[in-house]
Structure 1
């Protein structure tokens, strides 16, 4: 079996130093759609977008934590750990959760420590939970959990793990917004460090079972958090405490995201779909907890 669960879980955590500055933050924000006109009636240069794109006003969207340091993303790093040997073409990013311990600085140096926190047997697939904890000289900054699905690697009789499915939100959403994506959105986003050819190479995408390159799930993840912050959190990124989602379907560059939001006590429930494909689900079981 290419995945040795016991070996993966027993492996020593790996630590590395990461650094970033305002240019990395700005590039990430542009990669998730910042600076674009949210609708045809918006000004060509929206002043509110400058907090994502202009260094003198810059704040950091917490989902930047998924790319900070410009190293290989957790989905790739997890495949190089002891006990893990799988084909990249059979790998899908199944879900992501982020806990923010302090507001992210515009520039910083920190230590990132990664390990396999869990290995689950889903029958037709294995699920790896790759945990990355990041701290600087002042203490913890954030914790990221990436759920990595490896198709065809389940069935050894292991623990299926907990269900992360939530009851669907009820009632009409408090807000619904649409966010168009650029045709070259994946090519721009990958400059923040995720070089998986699935998002750029048509031939590789076909090998993986897709008609053409798909958008990074973490790009949709970032775009969605930005919409929640801008729409329901008064544009204040420091209010975000945690953010979790399940990747329920693919997005193709050039499509439009429909983002529905329901206010809850201390949280926002979110559902995201692709407008051009009859509201095909994209993100599900999505919760932003906030101050």
Structure 2
């Protein structure tokens, strides 16, 4: 039996803790907030549960070998897993130019403010398509905010690219490839994995951004199997794969509906996420868009 320290009590961290606990390991979860759930807190897929292994109000500051330094002391174990979630892309990364007025929020900031009961604006655009953005859009609409969601991804129901911000003190307009939109709030919801502590093991959105609960569970399950029994490295091109070291199964995230080559065999993928069985020595490659 091993002692496992997990940083982060979002769904990825909680599922990992559950799997490893059921396998007989001692589990400790460190969460800086006062509640579990992470970014899923505003979404209907999130259901609160009883998590006896979670220490709330504990902020991890560094990883030193098998120990985690926090504002409440050191927590040590045989394995340290980081589940600290994603970060939102910056306007510069998204190619958004113009002024830098107030009224531009990262998704997590907007979610946290909304959770605390603060109103972030009157007319908002959420730029990025995922279930967390959908949950925020519903909450904003329920609070009287005129909210619209679109993004650059091929998986968006409404596709548009934000090119420029206009405004002096407060955001007044955004320029997109569809035209100019009058808004006072822009929420950036385009997310990428983020591992700011640099742990050797990562799960959840700090490893791969997955907004589907069922696929998130599968990804964590495959990771737990590999952690216990070992595996082989998977090589991928043009798509995201987790876990990168597997015992034989991976969750694949594709950029758009298209053709994926798995171990030399092509397969049509029409959903954003898919599960494939792989063998040692073979590669996965995104071939072309449909």
Q: Give TM-score scaled by structure 1 length.
A: 0.24
Q: Which has the higher helix share?
A: 1
Larger RCO of the pair (alpha carbons < 8 Å, separation 6+): 1
Q: Give TM-score scaled by structure 2 length.
A: 0.24
